[in-house]
Structure 1
Amino acid sequence: MVYHYTAIGDSLTVGYGALPGNGFVPTYRRLAEYHLQTSVTYDNLGVIGLTTQGQYDLISRNLTFRQSLQQANIITLSIGGNDLIRAARTTGVTSQHFNKALAHCQTNFEHIIKGLHQIKRNGNQRYIIRVIGLYNPLPQIEEASYYVQRFNQYIERFQSATLEVANIYPLFYGRERELLSLDHIHPNSRGYRIIADQLNRLGYRPLS
């Protein structure tokens, strides 16, 4: 049997900041093949700069995304970081602005998850959804850490038999210099490997 893996999300899904082949998507695919003992084909549909609103729009209206997701046995989602970064850069660093951005991000995330389950509802194949929690890409901003932890707590509410969250925040906390690339925002190859390992540790039930 051949499994299909569809990766959606922002620049983390693209693997920005690492050499080609060293992002979490190809690394996780290789780990999945080893664990499942079968071939795993994949589509990387990551978009640099994507926000939660943009992600919801794509899975709602883009035929390419919807067809790939319909076929997928494995789905990963990385989203939310750009909402935080935009709030910090465009509105100033205040709790009020971060709270507004967080509320908007949470609403969009709920719509994304509902959209994914709706796409998969009429399919016959078994599938898993894996969501990558946020690390803090702006550790120098106190409000950013609060935003990230609140968002991570929120997305964990959606865990189910088919959906689990990879909690990477504590693995990156205090290790940003070691795990982030030269732009100090995106992971380097080592950081992406940590993300892939955390996804792999969640297991593959009900696929295996």
Structure 2
Amino acid sequence: MAFHYTALGDSLTVGVGSGMFEPGFAQRYKRKLEEDLHEPVMLMVFAKSGLETAEILKLFDRPFVKEQLKKANVITITGCGNDLLESLEIYEKKKDDDVFLEASSHCQKNYAEMLCKINDIKGKDHQDYMIRLLNLYNPFPKIKLADRWVSDFNQHLQQLANPPQVKVIDVYSIFKGHETEYLSIDKVHPNGKGYEEIAESLRASGCKLVEN
């Protein structure tokens, strides 16, 4: 029986910033899974740069995505970075802190709905699978409001963790203080080293599967 890995999300899952012909974290994590499991891993990626969490949630309703999620042994999800960028733009106009609170709550709600949809798609087959949610790093460390918003969202996301099946990968701590080293030339997306660190953290989260 083949081992399946399905990755969903935004530009992080796409691998933007890794450089030409360099893999993002999903491809790197796939290789690490193959090394640890000693068997081939089938990777399916459903991601697009610029997607907000509401748009990522809509991916779960596509028949082919559902089919791949049903087979998936490992699922990773990235998101909310674009929600953050939009919130910063709105804040610049309104100067209202509630913009960040509303966006954080909105993202958490969408993530919770994603987990519910996965559970529904899996049904009662009792298939072994695990879910890894990647929290946000702050590409704008000099903007205090951005760091506060990211921290608030990460706290909300952590509430959805249900180990060992559902774990939150602490990307924030990986990049904190290492932005220059791990961010690409655009100063927003990870570079190859950044994606490698994310993949290693995914690997460190374990690959023991649990029944639904």
Same topology, TM > 0.5: yes
**CA distance in structure 2 between the aligned counterparts of 1:178 and 1:8, rounded to whole angstroms:** 26
Unaligned runs of 5+ residues in structure 1 are: none
Report which stretch shifted further, 4-13 or 146-155.
Answer: 146-155
**CA distance in structure 2 between the aligned counterparts of 1:123 and 1:144, rounded to whole angstroms:** 42
**CA distance in structure 1 between the aligned counterparts of 2:9 and 2:125, rounded to whole angstroms:** 22
Q: Which amino acid aligns with 1:202?
A: S
CA contact (8 A) 2:73 2:209 kept: no
Q: Which amino acid aligns with 1:114?
A: C
Structure 1 residue 44 corresponds to structure 2 residue 45: yes
Give 1:127 shift.
0.6
What value does the CA root-mean-square deviation take over the aligned residues?
1.5
* Percent identical: 36
Unaligned runs of 5+ residues in structure 2 are: none
Q: Which amino acid aligns with 1:45?
A: F
Q: SS of the residue aligned with 1:158?
A: coil
**CA distance in structure 1 between the aligned counterparts of 2:133 and 2:200, rounded to whole angstroms:** 13
- Equivalent residue for 1:27? 28
- Equivalent residue for 2:125? 123
Pick aligned residue for 1:108 from 94, 107, 110 = 110
CA contact (8 A) 2:11 2:48 kept: yes
Give 1:89 shift.
2.3
Kindly tell me the number of residue pairs found equivalent between the two proteins: 206
Q: What is the correspondence of 1:22-171 to structure 2 with a 5 Å cutoff? A: 22-59=23-60, 61-92=61-92, 94-160=96-162, 161-171=164-174
Q: SS of the residue aligned with 1:128?
A: strand
Q: SS of the residue aligned with 1:79?
A: coil
Give TM-score scaled by structure 1 length: 0.93
**CA distance in structure 2 between the aligned counterparts of 1:140 and 1:180, rounded to whole angstroms:** 15
**CA distance in structure 1 between the aligned counterparts of 2:186 and 2:138, rounded to whole angstroms:** 14
**CA distance in structure 1 between the aligned counterparts of 2:178 and 2:100, rounded to whole angstroms:** 24
Q: Which amino acid aligns with 1:201?
A: A
Give TM-score scaled by structure 2 length: 0.91
**CA distance in structure 2 between the aligned counterparts of 1:40 and 1:113, rounded to whole angstroms:** 22
Q: Which amino acid aligns with 2:62?
A: N
CA contact (8 A) 2:10 2:49 kept: yes
Q: SS of the residue aligned with 1:42?
A: strand
Runs of 4+ that moved beyond 3 A: none
